[in-house]
Structure 1
Amino acid sequence: MLDLDQLAFDHAPMGLALTEDRIIRTCNESFAEMFGYEKDALIGQSFRQLYGTDQEFHQIRDIGLEPLRRSLPYTDERLMRRADGSRIWCRFRARTLTPETPLKRIVLSFALIDNASAGPKLTPREREVLLLLSQGQTSKEMARSLGLSPRTVEDVRARLLKKFQVKNVAVLLARLSGHEAGKGGR
């Protein structure tokens, strides 16, 4: 007899995973394919392998904890690493099953962002800067993280504002999070 819940999970059109303390306990085939792994190779592994650096893995841990503690879902866009080392841009969503300790048990979804439909095409550097902007980093902090000069980071920020036709970073981040006032998203 078919287990419809398992069937729906396994064949969902986005990557799904259940984690406990940032360890992958289960995931669907879409998740494994998105990241370039066999499903069995991910089960029991740290989410660390899906981030570019240890620093990135540790920095991103606390982002979104406040909404999760209030039993609200959390959404952002982030740069992730595939098994072959290439980077992909994903829309990330999370909902905790344990609000008192949000990372204890959490359900995650990942969907690839298609640049053609999601807005301007971004370079890998622009995506990195955008990710760090979404984490609230200053240009100096981003420059240190990326091994660039603050002036180079400022140039990338200016390019992002121009590409998205916005006047400041706050409006840019609001647009990307889908909370732009009066527009209801992108």
Structure 2
Amino acid sequence: MDETDLLLMAFQEAPVGIVLTEDRTIRACNATFARLFGHPESALIGQSFRLLYETEREFEEIRDIGLAPLRDSGTYSDERLIRRIDGTRLWVRFRARTLTPETPLARLVMSFAPLPRPAAATVALTPRERDVVSGLAHGRTSKEIARHLGLSPRTIEDVRARLLRKFEVRNVTELLTRLTGPGISG
């Protein structure tokens, strides 16, 4: 086996999903990435990243979250829920590095690593609960989440309180800790 074959094998079998995009179109991905999302590798190449989001709005909002850091430092990282082809959700550590800082989305390398969580029962989240969890995971306050979603802060507080009861936790830190990992469906 020559060095090129070894590099290709390392890329394909890396313990994290790796994808290269150009203007939000998938140009290359490894087998781990395809397995994470539940798609055949061949079905992903040439597809818009939109394929991996439920709504156009979600697709656009997620893109905008990391643009400023990508322009400033060339990298961005967060934790997020991803949607698999079967509709289930998976909590992952997302990392991105732009190869073109002046236009961050022109060529981007991203990785997706599943986050483990204790063996808890699978819990379904409503779309509104997913929106609130996403905002909390990005460190936003209830007022910021409300403004972002076009809702009242009281509505966000109600959803937040419902999530704390649903997961039997005392605060947002415990909630996010409980939610990190597979087993969340939407």
Aligned ranges for residues 5-24 of structure 1 at < 5 Å? 5-24=7-26
Output the TM-score relative to the length of structure 1: 0.74
Higher normalized strand content (fraction of residues): 2
Residue 122 of structure 1, CA deviation: 6.8
Correspondence for 2:158 among 146, 155, 158:
155
Matched residue, 1:81: 83
Q: Distance in 1 between matches of 2:7 and 2:86?
A: 31
1:48 aligns with 2:50: yes
* Offset from partner CA, 1:78-105 (integer Å, 9 cap, x none): 1221112222222111000000000000
Aligned ranges for residues 1-186 of structure 1 at < 5 Å? 1-2=1-2, 3=4, 4-116=6-118, 124-125=125-126, 126-133=129-136, 134=138, 136=140, 137-139=144-146, 141-142=148-149, 151=154, 153-158=156-161, 166=171, 172=173
Amino acid at match of 1:80: I
Q: Work out the number of aligned pairs and report it.
A: 165
Instruction: Tell me if the contact between 1:71 and 1:96 (Cα under 8 Å) persists in the aligned partners.
Output: no
Residue 127 of structure 1, CA deviation: 4.2
SS of corresponding position for 1:100: coil
Amino acid at match of 1:158: A
Amino acid at match of 2:95: R
Amino acid at match of 1:138: I
SS of corresponding position for 2:91: strand
Matched residue, 2:184: none
Query: Greater RCO between the two (CA within 8 Å, min separation 6)?
Result: 2
Output the TM-score relative to the length of structure 2: 0.74
**What are the ranges of 5 or more consecutive residues in structure 1 without an aligned counterpart?**
177-186
Q: Distance in 1 between matches of 2:99 and 2:22?
A: 10
After superposition, the CA RMSD in angstroms is 3.0
Instruction: Tell me if the contact between 2:17 and 2:33 (Cα under 8 Å) persists in the aligned partners.
Output: yes
* Offset from partner CA, 1:20-58 (integer Å, 9 cap, x none): 001000000000001011100000001111111111001
SS of corresponding position for 2:118: helix
Q: Distance in 2 between matches of 1:122 and 1:75?
A: 25
Percent of pairs with identical residues: 54
Instruction: Tell me if the contact between 1:15 and 1:30 (Cα under 8 Å) persists in the aligned partners.
Output: yes
Instruction: Tell me if the contact between 1:20 and 1:103 (Cα under 8 Å) persists in the aligned partners.
Output: yes
